[in-house]
Amino acid sequence: MRKFGFYPRLAARSLRLNGKFYLPYLLSGTVAAAMLYDILFLNMNRGVAQLKGTNAVQGLLGFGAMVVALFSFALLCYTNGFLMKRRQKELGLYNILGMEKRHMGRLLLWETVYAALLCAVGGLLLGVLLSKLFLLLLCAVMQAEIPFGFEVPRDAVLYTAAAFGGIFLLNYLLNLLRLNRVKPIELLHGGETGEREPKTKWVLTLLGLVTMGAGYGISLTVSDPVNALMLFFLAVILVIIGTYCLFTAGSIALLKALRKNKKYYYRTRHFTAVSGMLHRMKRNAAGLAAICILSTMVLVTVSTTLCLYMGVNDILNRMYCRDVQTYVNRGAPEDLPKVKALYERKAAELGVEMKDFAALCFYAPAADYANNRTDVDPYLERANGADVVGDPNDGPLRVYVGCNLAPDADAGLFAASVEVGTRDLDLSSSWSFTDDCRAGRTDFWASLGGFFFIGLFLGSLFLMAAVLIIYYKQISEGYEDARSFVIMQQVGMTEAEVKDSVRSQISLVFFLPLVAAACHTAGAFPMTKKILLLFGLSNTGLFLLCSAATLLIFAVVYYCIYRLTAREYYRIVKR
């Protein structure tokens, strides 16, 4: 047992023999490591740091790196637990052959070392190969110049290696804990113990309904965009709690209610399907809830960022109406002639010609006021020569003065000169600012492009996690149902009836998370629509179109995943 090289060779052989289970785990770990390296690469890249408007983007990239690291930890810990469960019988056989738990601990150590090296090294190599591609994509969506050169930031490599080294070390410690808590006989018979019928947990079901209702209620009742942003994460947490509770307890209550319906239950197809799901739901509810939450994250993240990116022109027209513009928030009508005179004086001093000059006071609706900027053209159309338009009940009075300049004029210099000049004016409000809108448009394009890139990046990560959980769920249930498949045929069911029952059972369980995710996305729509107002986007039709298109595309991808994994499931149960 102590011969040098025995455990490394045995661990390598074990990885090969369990390739069906380990390969998706290692591939997911490798891709996750590559994604972490690439987002760190973009955050630390010197060329990206020199692009215009990347200050906000680099902040988003840093936040995205934290999300990728934490999500990789959760994903690999989840799949590691699945792997250990599937290998209980193998470890029990090692125990019968003379291995003690400390020997199996050494075996698991070498397996962990191999897995960590494959994922970390493979992920870094893949990340380096893809880094330039991600840089090109980021620059494309930001409409920025592509920086020349190629670099491999040392800190990005070190942080990625450290993060995944820590994840696999924790997985190894968790495996040792599981190994020490289980009895040898339980190892040998792992996965063969029958499941008792789960009890209906009405308290947990009620908790799920309350938390889910509270999360939906916040989304439907919040009216102010700022409050919507502040309450968004609370609503998300409540919906997550509700989802887990309802998948764990509510699904059991629903299946028992179906069983009491004699007309529905006492049919060959429904009888076996409901019975199978009822005994399976207790064990698999967490996996279904995780798939539902991940699917919702993909839908909300991608649809929101896609809508922002497609509606960027509406946002820019709303926020930056002219080349240079000055706002005085909570101002007074007597401020208007002062700012108008300032514009005329600065134009004369700098020798520039003002075009499309506009000046007025208006009462801004709450949503516009929250954005600090608004499209003033609708107010100008209603002015008819008046200096003040709007209803005082709409909100605070705002003073606006703006103009366009010739293409070759220095808008930045003119805006800076006006900004300095406003400080010497005796305005009724100190809350005023002047925009160089040409630079603002460039910076906003860059920031919004980076936001869109992060949304797609994280959406891809969430989708990968959902695919991995779905795959392991199908494989696990395939091995569990293989025995049931034979038993049902032995008691008189035809193979066609058995396949029809199994197909009904799997389809219902498999698509339940997708339906729930669609409901969550619809429930979040009112709140996310208000949050988009903070970015200056009020095009509800565009957001609805992006949400529907994202849901449709995701449903097609989800169905393709189902078909691929179901094929492997049927291959297992028919052996």
311-324 tens-digit pLDDT = 888 888 878 889 99
The rounded distance, in Å, linking the Cα atoms of 542 and 171 is 44
Most confident of 462-466, 477-481, 523-527: 523-527
Mean pLDDT of 192-210: 68
Under 8 Å CB-to-CB from 484, ≥6 apart: which residues?
276
Is the per-residue pLDDT at 198 higher than 60? no
Confidence of residue 37 (pLDDT cuts 50, 70, 90): very high
Mean pLDDT of 3-14: 77
Question: In the prediction, which pLDDT does 266 show?
Answer: 65
The rounded distance, in Å, linking the Cα atoms of 301 and 486 is 44
pLDDT tens-digit readout, 363-408: 877 555 555 566 777 788 788 777 888 888 877 888 999 999 998 8
Mean pLDDT of 162-189: 78
pLDDT tens-digit readout, 333-368: 999 999 999 999 999 999 999 999 999 998 877 555
Among 57, 556, 513, residue whose Cα is nearest residue 291: 513
The average confidence (pLDDT) of the chain is 80
The DSSP string of 157-216 is HHHHHHHHHHHHHHHHHHHHHHHHHS-HHHHHTTT-SPPPPPPP-HHHHHHHHHHHHHHH
Residues 320, 375 contacting (CB under 8 angstroms): no
The rounded distance, in Å, linking the Cα atoms of 397 and 378 is 16
Among 324, 318, 355, residue whose Cα is nearest residue 339: 324
The rounded distance, in Å, linking the Cα atoms of 179 and 181 is 6
Calculate the CA dihedral of residues 149, 154, 156, 160 and round it to 10 degrees: 140
Residues 26, 118 contacting (CB under 8 angstroms): yes
- Residue for token pair 């996690």: 465
Q: 389 - beta bridge partners? A: 362
pLDDT tens-digit readout, 503-518: 666 676 678 888 899 9
The rounded distance, in Å, linking the Cα atoms of 66 and 74 is 12
Mean pLDDT of 91-118: 80
Report the amino acid identity of residue 115.
A
> Secondary structure of the chain: what % helix, strand, coil (to 5)?
75, 5, 20
Provide the whole-model pTM: 0.74
Which domains, ranges and CATH numbers included, belong to the chain?
Answer: 1-193 (no CATH), 321-442 (3.30.70)
Report the amino acid identity of residue 398.
R
Radius of gyration of the chain measured on its C-alpha atoms: 30
The rounded distance, in Å, linking the Cα atoms of 14 and 459 is 33
Is the per-residue pLDDT at 41 higher than 50? yes
What are the distances in angstroms from CA 460 to CA 28, 32, 321, 353, 390? 12, 10, 35, 49, 46
Question: In the prediction, which pLDDT does 61 show?
Answer: 80
The secondary element (H helix, E strand) that includes residue 340 is helix 335-350
Residues 574, 485 contacting (CB under 8 angstroms): yes
